[in-house]
A = this chain, B = another copy of it.
Amino acid sequence: MDIHEYQAKELFRAAGVAVPPGEVATTAEQAEEIARRYGGSVVVKAQVHAGGRGKAGGVKLASSAEEAREHASKILGMTIKDLTVQKVLVTPIEDIASEAYASVLIDRETQRPMFMVSPEGGVDIEEVAENRPEAIRKLRIDPRYGLLPHQAYSLATFLYDDPAQVKQATKLMGQLYEAFTSNSCSLAEINPLIVTPEGDLKAIDAKVSIDESALFRLPEVAAYRDLDAEPAAETKAREAGLSFVKLEGDVGCCVNGAGLAMATMDLVKYYGGEPANFLDIGGSSNPDKVVAALEIITADPSVKSILFNIFGGITRCDDVANGIVEAARRIDIQPPIVIRLTGTNETEALEILKEAGFSAYTSMDEVVEKAVELAAQA
């Protein structure tokens, strides 16, 4: 789960990281008032779950409270990568002597948390990784011992020469790691980590993703979820226990299992179509889930045909069939539905569908081809 910059900064502050002050505004007037309290010289930053806010015009410097209001009024309501900006963070401008980068993430290769630090901050770290890999230091942390003092020190000396800055950075690495582990992050990033002209380290921008699986025991972090900041369809899907991602095409897909769902989308493309979405109904075969899935898919006006691809294992095919029939009763489904069901209780399922007038297939290729054809005809 992505959280906003201002929320990430709250987590960092709680772990002791030096983060400049800042407040969130939802109106231009609030932004002006906050800016006035900070003396007028502020940055107004769009709070959306998207990278590239700067390039999109979502981050603006202001030299007066009035200017801050003007910026806020432009940024609030603007759209960045399909997301509408509903909040801005107003924070004092900091003078910068140097910019560095520091993050912790989960390294899949070694199955461990990994630090990535670079003295080149404030830029896209992927670019640095590609062009000057020697400017990045990676350090894996043994989860049995956590970040050891000499490791923190060696990260700090990679970033700074000045002993006072090394000392601050050594401490900061521990705080960043603490923030990472205690909040079950999948990413905790400071970019840039600046040194002020006075020699103080400060985290100017913060990016944090939380492991969804850990939210059950982190109620305060779970409350950070900003439903306004994600498409309504994804909220509805999550609440129904489905996994959904909107795509650009017109063939609606409803599949059990993430891998099979992706393979189905790929097959749609293979046969000349474009998938309208990724949708995994998961392992359970509760008919209500199927109803919710169809509601989400049919809410998308670009969907021209709907394709079910179910391989029954834990999922019982008859449950899915009942869900489809139930959904057809409850909601007005315009696009044609084609269904492939195979596996557990397949025979019963085909019977149920046939009675309700649906066409059913047992091969994945057949059903995908048919769905693409129907979408093209619509």
Could you tell me the dominant secondary structure of chain A's interface residues? Answer: loop
Interface residue ranges of A111-156 to B (CB < 8 Å): 144-145
Q: Which residues of B contact A144 (CB under 8 A)?
A: 144-145
Residue of B nearest to A144 (CB): B144
Task: Categorize the interface residue count of chain A.
Answer: under 10
Q: State in angstroms the CA–CA spacing of A145 and B143 once bound together.
A: 9
A171 to chain B, nearest CB (A): 15
Q: State in angstroms the CA–CA spacing of A145 and B145 once bound together.
A: 9
Q: State in angstroms the CA–CA spacing of A145 and B144 once bound together.
A: 6
Q: State in angstroms the CA–CA spacing of A144 and B145 once bound together.
A: 6
Q: Which residues of B contact A145 (CB under 8 A)?
A: 144
Q: State in angstroms the CA–CA spacing of A313 and B144 once bound together.
A: 39
A192 to chain B, nearest CB (A): 33
Q: State in angstroms the CA–CA spacing of A144 and B144 once bound together.
A: 5
Residue of B nearest to A146 (CB): B144
Residue of B nearest to A142 (CB): B144
Residue of B nearest to A143 (CB): B144
Residue of B nearest to A145 (CB): B144
Q: State in angstroms the CA–CA spacing of A57 and B144 once bound together.
A: 48
Interface residue ranges of A229-244 to B (CB < 8 Å): none
Q: State in angstroms the CA–CA spacing of A144 and B142 once bound together.
A: 10
A113 to chain B, nearest CB (A): 15
A97 to chain B, nearest CB (A): 34
Nearest 2 CB-CB pairs, A to B? A144-B144, A144-B145
Question: What are 2 A-B interface contacts by the 8 Å CB criterion?
Answer: A144-B144, A144-B145
